A = this chain, B = another copy of it.
Amino acid sequence: MSEIPTLGIDFGGTSVKIAAVEGADLVSELVRIPTQEHDGPTPLIEEISKKVAELRAKIPGIAAVGIGVPGAIDFEKGITYNLTNVRGWTNVPLRDIVQEKVQLPTVLENDANCMAYAEFKHGAGKGYQNIICVTLGTGVGGGLILNGNLYRGSRYAAGEIGQMSVDLYGVDGPYGNRGALERYIGNRQIGEMAAQKYYDAGEDAPADLSPENLCKLANDGDQVAVAVWDKVATYLGACLMSTIYLLNPDAIVIGGGVAHAGDILFVPLREKLKNSLTRECFDELVLSHARFGNTAGIIGCSTMARELLA
């Protein structure tokens, strides 16, 4: 079955990515617009509209537009409250501005929700009704599928797994939320943890303490790097355990750069969950890598756009 092509527009702190999508497949080039080279919403939206027009000239039949943004939005009104790492985007009625310019049905959603929706409809969460999606990166984001629908919460702010506490005596989160998960397993924090562990072991730390390199080192048998991932699994496992006791999901889907750590992360994570959950919560639980990488946002919001047409 061929799908109606729709456009996905994924806002990021570095670039805005745009592509035409059918189902889970990009059917155009991936266009990138540097976010910071445009001074605020108006010139950036102008540039986006130009690229959209070019893509529509190449791909016939594009019927709707989805926009994913990093930060708080009002889903019903289509307004961005504020975007993380992008200034000048407070209270912008982005959905209606874009809809007016491109004259196509348009939907605006938070990017972590887009990722969750992509995995639910086309990826690792397909076929499940209750899914917790986590994205690991600079920060830790999340999205929830409950009873077969994206769960947004009362003010569209649900799924903030990175702000949940794993330690009531822990380090401060950005909102006074002590023990916030993302203050332990954000990319930078993993690097700092690794530096400390190499120091404690009396070893010189490698220059590159990125999650990618720590993953490579662990897979090559570096025991300090292995211990770093075990500790990441302890923090992530503590938070997921609480989330699972609360929501009793079918599946956990983990995406973002850190998820590439693979078995080095997933094996201890599964073990820790097994040792801290009831059988009702653990026995049938599926723990998966996300299927989609940096196109998850585009695929999620373009899928939501397609559903505007139903």
Contact = CB atoms under 8 A, between A and B. Distances in A.
Interface of A: 72, 81, 129-130, 142, 144, 146-147, 149, 151-161, 163-169, 173, 175-179, 234-235, 238-239, 241-243, 245-250, 275-278, 280-281, 284
Contact of A178 (B173, B276, B277): B276
Contacts of A165: 166, 238, 241-242
B246 A155 contact: no
A241 B177 contact: yes
Contacts of A160: 245-246, 248, 278, 281
Given A163-B242, A178-B238, A178-B276, 9 more contacts: A72-B280, A130-B153, A147-B147, A157-B281, A161-B245, A161-B246, A166-B168, A167-B167, A243-B246
11 contacts: A72-B278, A152-B248, A153-B249, A156-B248, A157-B280, A158-B246, A158-B247, A160-B281, A164-B242, A168-B234, A177-B245
A171 to B, nearest CB: 13
A100 B52 CA distance: 64
Nearest to A164: B242
Contacts of A242: 163-165, 239, 242
Given A154-B250, A167-B168, A275 B245 contact: no
Give the top 10 A-B pairs by smallest Cβ distance, nearest first: A153-B248, A164-B242, A168-B238, A158-B248, A160-B245, A163-B245, A157-B248, A157-B280, A177-B276, A154-B250
Contacts of A277: 175, 177
Contacts of A238: 165, 168, 178-179
Contacts of A72: 278, 280
A142 B242 CA distance: 13
Point out which of A157, A175, A241, A246 has the most chain B C-beta atoms below 10 A from its C-beta: A246
Contacts of A129: 154
Contacts of A249: 153-154
Given A176-B275, A179-B238, A275-B176, A246 B157 contact: no
A5 B176 CA distance: 49
A177 B147 CA distance: 26
Nearest to A243: B246
Given A166-B168, A245-B161, A146 B151 contact: yes
A125 to B, nearest CB: 12
B146 A276 contact: no
